[in-house]
Structure 1
Amino acid sequence: MLNKSYPYYLANQAVFANKNLPISDKYTGEIVTHVAMADKTTIDAAINAAVKSQKALQAMAPYERQDILLYCVKRFEERFEELAMALCIEAGKPIKDARGEVQRLIETFKVAAEEAVRINGEMINLEITPRAKGYTAITKRIPIGPCSFISPFNFPLNLAAHKIAPALAVGCPFILKPASRTPIGALLIGEILAETNLPKGAFSILPCSRDGADLFTTDDRLKLLSFTGSPDVGWQLKAKAGKKPVVLELGGNAACIVDHDTDDIDDAIERIIFGAFYQSGQSCIGVQRLLVHSDIYDSFKHKLISKVSKLKMGDPKNEETFIGPMIAESEASRLKTWIDEAIQKGAKLLIGGKKDGAFLEATVLENVADTALINIEEAFGPVVTLSPFNDFDTALEQVNKSKFGLQAGIFTKDIYKIQKAWDVLEVGGVVIGDVPSFRVDNMPYGGVKDSGIGREGIRSAIEDMTELRLLVIRDKSKGL
């Protein structure tokens, strides 16, 4: 169970300043705890502390930063079930999915620990012209400085970890704003970080209002902004960020193609059901648009609907639950409106479509109009659209017919089609033999178009959080 209240963390210290942010059990709707909220004065103090800590944090040897990351891994493992139950309560995430996220938290910190001791530069041969004879160049990576992070509600632990862990690996102090609906996971990470010997000011974790968080974006003392969340908010923040680099991990309406040569339809359906309805579809790489070759379409459709009909919806604390509540009833209502609009425009409801409070049934729609919101926007809920195709190239064009471009999934055995998909799909990643929802925490992850800029994944984040510094050495004895 959750504690009665939680502090924020200012310059490594727990501060029980107030209890202004109520947190609900997303299944029952009951307020189960309260969280301290930071104001602008507190955020300013956190930034100032981060600036002061930079030299001490940067001076730590790589193995020392690695030791801190590995200590966190040990503590996450010791508190595994506590972390999972916190996710289950504050996010409404089915307990099996919650445990999966805790495991990914652990893996993310492990990868960061490995990378902390191999942040290397390179030797560059400058003798490419007579005038450079005797010159050598070397690069190294320098921490960019204090960073600001804003994390979303759907993966409160692991998407915070994808910002925190690489910052610790390279030696960047940070301030983090967790999502107001699900701040507990990040605060539990802060509780464990507070047990370490990080220099004072190395981290602050500050739940706060959107207005109060303006300094996260605009303050010039912060040298990088990393935001994961909705496209509308992300692009607004980038416009306000000034000169600092910005990394945006935003939304998507990911597509999955199932070609006629797919040799295991049952496996494809199992993976698609996972990708579309895992944690009630609240994933930016959830399967939203499903294109199936006409040769196998009818058989595929019937098997898919049969499997979806067996999904258990209910209390996320129940081990058998697959579909839990959405993050809020307002989100379920929004998506129900989109389903109804699609039906009004000619779509056929194959299964689901009913709402009960914050619950929305796993829903499959067929022949959805191109103009329907469920095709154009990010659903971020348990809804998938189903369409047939005859020509693979046409299916690829349909995937690209989106303002988003995060990841795409392809089920085919044809190496030429795989190469073509990799060449032409306007996405950050193409996943073969699986759904676009697949992610491992060391891979470069991110999108194009309205899905964002930059990449996460520990090594990619490390590159964003460091700057290359060049050293040029002249050996006069070798020169002309």
Structure 2
Amino acid sequence: MQQQYDLWIGGQWQQASQYETLYNPYNGEALTRIGQGSPTDAERAIEAAHSAFASYSLMSAFQRSEILYRVAEIFGRRREELAAVIALEAAKPLKAARAEIVRTIETYRFAAEAAKSVTGEQIAMDAAEGGQGRIGFTVRLPLGVVTAITPFNFPFNLVAHKVGPALAAGNTIVLKPAEQTPISSLLLADIFTEAGLPPGVLNIVTGKGAELGEVLTSHPLVKKVSFTGSHAVGEIILRRAGLRRTTLELGSNAALIVDKGTDVDAIIDRCVSGAFGYNGQVCISLQRILVHQSLYSRFVERFAAAAFKLVIGSPLEENTDITSLISDKAAERIALWVEEAVTAGASVVTGGQLSRDKEKGNNIYTPTVLTDVPHSAKVWTEEVFGPVAVIQSFGDLPEAIREVNASRYGLMAGVYTPDINSAFMAARQLEAGGVVINDIPTFRVDHMPYGGAKDSGKGTEGVSYAIQEMTQLKLISFNLS
């Protein structure tokens, strides 16, 4: 790993005015020094992207596709090295980091395929009175400069979900990665250069969101903003962005309904992986579990026992399931929320302990299962973004649906049921961007549409759907009479 990383602007490494040391969240070791971009640096990156757009937007779909295929190929060759980077800077368990690299490769391949399918359609102009003698059709054109602001939890794959579609559509991009996970994004500079991407098409500015955010979201040359992060920051971005295009993937509070007749033993391992994978630091991590009263006791017992057996350790160890949370702040918030729930009457079935190694600087929160949680508690109403699952019972399916829908969030929901009518009822009535039948809400493949309802955001990701959000539909009409 390099001793220092600069900013990537206009196809060149450019020094920042200041640098900060990046530390490993698990052992506190210094990893490298990261350039801290200024608003002026962000403006220069946007201008570089704007200059590159004139020629890149005219590049053939075949050429754009080939570049993205080569990116996927390079990721495949370097997969072990890149997985280790995730484990070091994000403290993601190595087996989860490897899975992320596999998904990242697939995402860039989907983008390469989609680059060849950015098409419009013919319009039957003569279907309207007065439309005779006319031919009409639509085309999709790139917007221009896209800015992407990404979170720490999937530092390669969530970046790919913004960079891949933007480049496939013919846009140029300025990427601002999360402050804790900049290395994975900065490595893209060499990867895309090796793949043949022209200078200035991809620009990477690292630093603090509070300092860079306004320029990245309100600069007049920016045509589209794509953000994944908290609801509070998303609201700020929306106000700054004004009428320009925005995609905002915000908070979640993913729920699962386990209906009567479900085979509890068959789903426990899957549910535990959904709740505690990467310490629950996943946008659609399984947080609320509503279990039919006939299955409730058995489910709680089996779920808690499986959670207790998860392996806690270093992210670089092959069998680790649970490791350090991303920051002191995150650990303190999670511990406070659990304590609040317990004070209000909740029961801790397992977990509920924060282990802090001051020498290493890590924060490990044991996998936690709560029952009897008041619905006023934050662990029920807000996004925990940590290894905490809340379980409650319900009497009938309409009751469970009402409980799930009472949340202000609605990104993904899951339902286990052996009854087809119940499945369709839940699919229709659950207020979420996606409903997964007979699986957990944490399920995602990278070409499916992915976006939230209510306070979970606006716009849709999933490669081909993101391309639609990153292009302008234009009508062309010929008068032949």
TM-score range, shorter chain: over 0.9
Q: State the partner residue of 1:295.
A: 294
The more displaced of 197-206 and 104-113 is 197-206
Q: 1:432 aligns with which of 411, 433, 437?
A: 437
Letter aligned with residue 367 of structure 1 = D
Q: After the TM superposition, which parts of structure 1 deviate over 6 Å for at least 4 consecutive aligned residues? A: none
Secondary structure, counterpart of 1:384 in structure 2: strand
Q: Distance in 1 between matches of 2:224 and 2:425?
A: 36
CA contact (8 A) 2:381 2:407 kept: yes
Bigger shift: residues 363-372 or 49-58:
49-58
How far apart are the structure 2 equivalents of 1:141 and 1:47? 23
* Deviations 1:25-82 (CA, angstroms, capped at 9, x unpaired): 1110222211122212221111111111112001100010011001101111111111
Distance in 2 separating the partners of 1:267 and 1:82? 35
SS in 2 for 1:455: coil
1:400 and 2:399 matched: no
Tell me if structure 1 keeps the 8 A contact 2:214–2:240: no
- For the residue of structure 1 that corresponds to 2:465, the secondary structure is helix
Question: C-alpha deviations, 1:217-254, integer Å up to 9, x for none?
Answer: 11111000010001100111101112211110011011
Structure 2 distance, partners of 1:306, 1:243, is 50
Match of 1:255 in 2: 255
Structure 1, 86-95 or 4-13: larger mean CA deviation: 4-13
Deviation at 1:113, TM superposition (A): 0.4
Question: In structure 2, how many angstroms separate the alpha carbons of the residues matched to 1:197 and 1:77?
Answer: 17
Deviation at 1:16, TM superposition (A): 4.2
* Contact 1:5–1:19 (8 Å) recurs in 2: no
2:421 paired with 1:422 = no
Q: In the alignment, which residue of structure 1 is the partner of 2:365? A: 360
Task: Tell me what 1:60 maps to.
Answer: 59
Q: State the secondary structure of the residue aligned to 1:216.
A: helix
Task: State percent identity of aligned pairs.
Answer: 40
Contact persistence 2:351–2:368 (CA under 8 A): yes
Q: Structure 1 residue 333 and structure 2 residue 332: aligned?
A: yes
Q: Aligned residue for 2:224? A: 224
Distance 2:370 2:331 in 1: 16
Whole-angstrom distance in 1 between the partners of 2:183 and 2:17: 15
Superposed CA deviations along residues 381-413 of structure 1, whole A, max 9, x for unmatched, are 000001011110100000001010000010012
Q: Distance in 2 between matches of 1:71 and 1:38?
A: 29
Distance 1:22 1:138 in 2: 54
Please state whether the residue corresponding to 2:194 is helix, strand or coil. Answer: coil
Q: CA deviation at 1:15?
A: 2.6
1: CA distance, partners of 2:10 / 2:422: 52
- 1:36 partnered with 2:41: no
Give the match for residue 214 of structure 1. Answer: 214
- Note the residue ranges of structure 1 that are not aligned, 5 or more in a row: none
Find the aligned partners of 1:196 and 1:289 in 2 and give their Cα distance. 43
Distance 1:462 1:260 in 2: 40
Query: How far apart are residue 14 of structure 1 and its match?
Result: 2.3
- Counterparts of 1:212 and 1:469 in 2: how far apart (Å)? 32
Q: Deviations over 1:315-372 (max 9, x none)?
A: 1111111001110122111101110110011101000000012110000000100110
Give the Cα–Cα distance (whole angstroms) in 2 for the partners of residues 459 and 392 of structure 1: 34
Counterpart in the other structure of 1:233: 233
Residue 75 of structure 1: aligned partner:
74
In structure 1, what residue type is equivalent to 2:294?
D
Distance in 1 (CA, whole Å) between partners of 2:257 and 2:282 is 18
Q: Whole-Å Cα distance in 2 between the matches of residues 22 and 64 of structure 1?
A: 38
- Shift in Å, 1:18: 5.7
Distance in 2, matches of 1:390 and 1:130, equals 57
The Cα shift of 1:196 comes to 3.7
Residues 12-411 of structure 1 aligned to structure 2 (within 5 Å): 12-17=11-16, 20-209=19-208, 210-262=210-262, 264-357=263-356, 358-411=363-416
For structure 2, the 5+ residue unaligned runs are 357-362
Once the two structures are superposed, the pairs formed by residues 456-471 of structure 1 within 5 Å of their partners are 456-471=461-476
Q: Give the residue type in structure 2 aligned to 1:324.
A: T
CA contact (8 A) 1:257 1:395 kept: yes
Query: How much has 1:288 moved relative to structure 2?
Result: 0.5
Distance 2:257 2:306 in 1: 19
SS of corresponding position for 1:291: strand
SS of equivalent to 2:326? coil
Q: What is the alpha-carbon distance in structure 2 between the residues aligned to residue 12 and residue 161 of structure 1?
A: 19
CA offsets per residue over residues 75-108 of structure 1, 9 Å max, x none? Answer: 1111111110000010000000000101111000
The alpha carbon displacement at 1:177 in A equals: 0.4
Q: What is the rounded CA distance, in whole Å, between the counterparts of 1:332 and 1:338 in structure 2?
A: 10
Instruction: Give 1:182 shift.
Output: 0.8
Equivalents in 1 of 2:325, 2:88: separation in Å?
12
Cα shift at 1:8: 2.0
Q: C-alpha separation between the residues in 1 aligned to 2:212 and 2:96?
A: 32
| Amino acid paired to 1:382 | P
Secondary structure, aligned partner of 1:132: coil
Report the equivalent of 2:456: 451
Contact 1:14 1:191 in 2 (8 A): no
Return the alpha-carbon distance in structure 2 between the equivalents of residues 44 and 448 of structure 1: 33
Q: CA deviation at 1:475?
A: 2.3
Contact 1:7–1:36 (CA<8 Å) still a contact in 2?
yes
Report the residue type matching 1:437 in the other structure: T
For residue 29 of structure 1, give the secondary structure of its aligned residue in structure 2: coil
TM-score by length of 2: 0.97
Indicate if the aligned counterparts of 1:217 and 1:225 stay in contact, CA closer than 8 A.
yes
Structure 1 Cα separation of the partners of residues 11 and 415 of structure 2: 45
